[in-house]
Amino acid sequence: MTHLLAAPIIVPALAAALLLVLHRARIAVKRTIGMGATVAVAVAALAILTETRSGAPLVYRLGNWPSPFGIVLVADHLSAFMLLLTASLALAALLYAVQGWDARGKLFHPLFLFQVMGLNGAFLTGDLFNLFVFFEILLIASYGLAMEGLEVERLRATLHYAAINIAASSVFLIAVSLMYGVMGTLNMAHLAERVGEVRIEDVGLVRAAGLLLLGVFAVKAAVFPLYFWLPATYSHAPAPVAALFAVMTKVGVYAMIRVTTLIFTGGESDVMELTSPWLMPVSLITLALGTLGALGAQRLATITAYLTIASVGTILTGVAVGGGKGLAAALYYMAHSTIAIAILFLVTDLLGRNRGAMGDQLHPGPPLRQAVPLGLTFLFGGATVAGIPPSSGFLGKLMILHSTMNGLSVVLIWTVILVTSVLTLVTCSRAGSIVLWNHIEPDQLAHDRPPRAGEWVALAALAGCSIGLVIFAAPIAHYTGEIEVQLTSPGSYIHAVLESAQDDFIRPHAMGGVR
């Protein structure tokens, strides 16, 4: 178990490199390597989650250089939770892709694995600079994945997406440079120690760096008013890619949670607290506008893309509530929304393929083959996203609403969440009725291959995860509660990363290790 923390990064990186060397190999070889690496990552993620159940974060020092001088990987409850969520999503998305999507581009599998590598690295890294590095890895891979097929609209949307994120990455570098210039370190645990010792004349610079970081994370998370890049990008991406992208916005949310609970906590004063009072109104606006965008969209994929934005608003509402249960509820809802959005992207692709030239547009089309299973799958996804009882969406929203019972803004939060839930239900009902029931050529079926068994298996796996969130809601909610406790009391994280730094520095070793 010594090098376990490196596995979610090293395994996809090596497999992707091997696939680049074997780019002329048969598609069956590529699928075997890609699927094998993704399964290995899932096993490693589950093992890491098991290892962190004791409560103490795991720390892996690359080259065994001591913190804060060397590069560290850190796995606490939150990191392990995100790793397992990402691995589960990646497995389902890849299983769907190998039914035919992956054959459209020679570099699909290496790009997919580099994407997984970047996501895992962002969740495991213990310093801000390597967070930037892993952000760039996952973004560069996502540019290539989003352009698969080289369609005009897809290229246009991807160029817009790339331009926005390159600008955000430039701001990220500025923020990191400013932070290092003032604090002398980028190790997040070390920053958490030093932030309380900042000189009065440097407080403004540190706050500015922190706000720039939050702005960058808001772009990645697609938070109002920085979400305009997402609808076109996600709605035009290949279906399995869009399904994997369901976790991309959650990386931005993760980074916001990590930085604000570890570094900019406020401490005994509010000088270093950066999210009040703007996070709650921004979250509610994001939720409202995402829902309204879905209500006005004319394509199923665009509806799903806007619902992705709305889900981010709901998650951040729970984060903004904070307190004893808000963050835990937000994390439960994060798992739900990631899975539910992926289901909708995949079933949207199946519906669009089976409607001929009409695609996924909200216009009457020819009757569908396998209309009943497709309709039931869409009904499941739409009802789950809307929060119909007893779905995981219902439980997640109920947890968030319950966490606001003692807040001053309870009326506003309840109103926005309940109204947007009703509007989401109306949106999905309207879209389903048009696509599934309104036919213009009753005697002619759409001409396209029916869904393959592997595609149904991928959807069934995601649906099973969603149902599992309901069946095991109590232990999962208990676990997210443990995550919140660990985040709001970061002493164990700081101690695990920085312990015995001087002793390790004078005792050289060739390899890293877990502490």
479 or 509, greater pLDDT = 479
Integer Cα distance of 265 and 65 in angstroms: 28
Question: Does residue 411 lie within any of the structural domains?
Answer: yes
Burial of residue 499, with CB atoms counted within 10 A of its CB: 0-12 exposed, 13-18 middle, 19 or more buried? middle
70 or 346, greater pLDDT = 346
Q: What is the per-residue pLDDT for 270? A: 56
Q: Region 24-31: what's the mean pLDDT?
A: 89
Residue 427 has pLDDT above 80, yes or no: yes
Rg (CA), the chain: 22
Q: 36 near 15, Cβ under 8 Å?
A: yes
Q: 333 near 470, Cβ under 8 Å?
A: no
Q: What is the per-residue pLDDT for 498? A: 86
Question: Does residue 349 lie within any of the structural domains?
Answer: yes
Question: Please, which pLDDT band fits residue 124 given cuts at 50, 70 and 90?
Answer: very high
Q: What is the per-residue pLDDT for 195? A: 84
Mind listing the pLDDT tens digit for each residue in 258-311? 998 888 875 544 556 777 778 899 999 999 999 999 999 999 999 999 999 999
Q: What is the per-residue pLDDT for 515? A: 44
Q: Which of 230, 87, 219 is nearest to 146 (CA)?
A: 230
Residue 459 has pLDDT above 90, yes or no: yes
Q: What is the per-residue pLDDT for 266? A: 58
CB atoms within 10 A of CB 408: 8
Using a pLDDT cut of 90, give the percent of the chain over it: 58
Question: Does residue 292 lie within any of the structural domains?
Answer: yes
Q: What is the per-residue pLDDT for 67? A: 74
CB atoms within 10 A of CB 513: 13
Find tokens 């958490």 and name the residue: 192
What is the total count of domains within the chain? Answer: 1
Q: What is the per-residue pLDDT for 271? A: 56
Q: What is the pTM of this model?
A: 0.91
Residue 476 has pLDDT above 70, yes or no: yes
Q: What is the DSSP string of 10-64?
A: HHHHHHHHHHHHTTTS-HHHHHHHHHHHHHHHHHHHHHHHHHGGGSSPEEEEGGG
Q: What is the per-residue pLDDT for 511? A: 40
Q: Region 63-83: what's the mean pLDDT?
A: 88
Q: Region 100-122: what's the mean pLDDT?
A: 90
Q: Which of 338, 227, 334, 317 is nearest to 275 (CA)?
A: 317
Q: 213 near 70, Cβ under 8 Å?
A: no
The terminus-to-terminus CA distance of the chain in angstroms comes to 11
Q: 220 near 255, Cβ under 8 Å?
A: yes
Question: Does residue 322 lie within any of the structural domains?
Answer: yes
Question: Does residue 328 lie within any of the structural domains?
Answer: yes
For 114, 179, 183, 212, 219, the CA distances from 133, given in Å and listed in that order, are: 12, 16, 20, 17, 16
Q: What is the per-residue pLDDT for 407? A: 59
Question: Does residue 235 lie within any of the structural domains?
Answer: no
Residues composing the chain: 515
For 79, 335, 362, 433, 513, the CA distances from 469, given in Å and listed in that order, are: 19, 8, 31, 28, 34
CB atoms within 10 A of CB 470: 17
Q: Name the least confident of 165-179, 350-364, 407-421, 472-486.
A: 350-364
Q: Name the least confident of 191-195, 247-251, 477-481.
A: 191-195
Residue 513 has pLDDT above 60, yes or no: no
Residue 504 has pLDDT above 50, yes or no: no
Residue 324 has pLDDT above 80, yes or no: no
Q: Which of 47, 184, 78, 46 is nearest to 127 (CA)?
A: 184
Domain that residue 375 falls in? 278-489
Integer Cα distance of 422 and 484 in angstroms: 29
Question: Does residue 379 lie within any of the structural domains?
Answer: yes
Question: Does residue 17 lie within any of the structural domains?
Answer: no
Mind listing the pLDDT tens digit for each residue in 342-386? 999 999 999 888 887 788 888 887 777 788 888 899 999 999 999
For 335, 355, 445, 446, the CA distances from 370, given in Å and listed in that order, are: 29, 12, 11, 11
Q: Which of 387, 386, 388, 414 is nearest to 401 (CA)?
A: 414
Question: Please, which pLDDT band fits residue 245 given cuts at 50, 70 and 90?
Answer: very high
Average model confidence (pLDDT) across the chain: 87
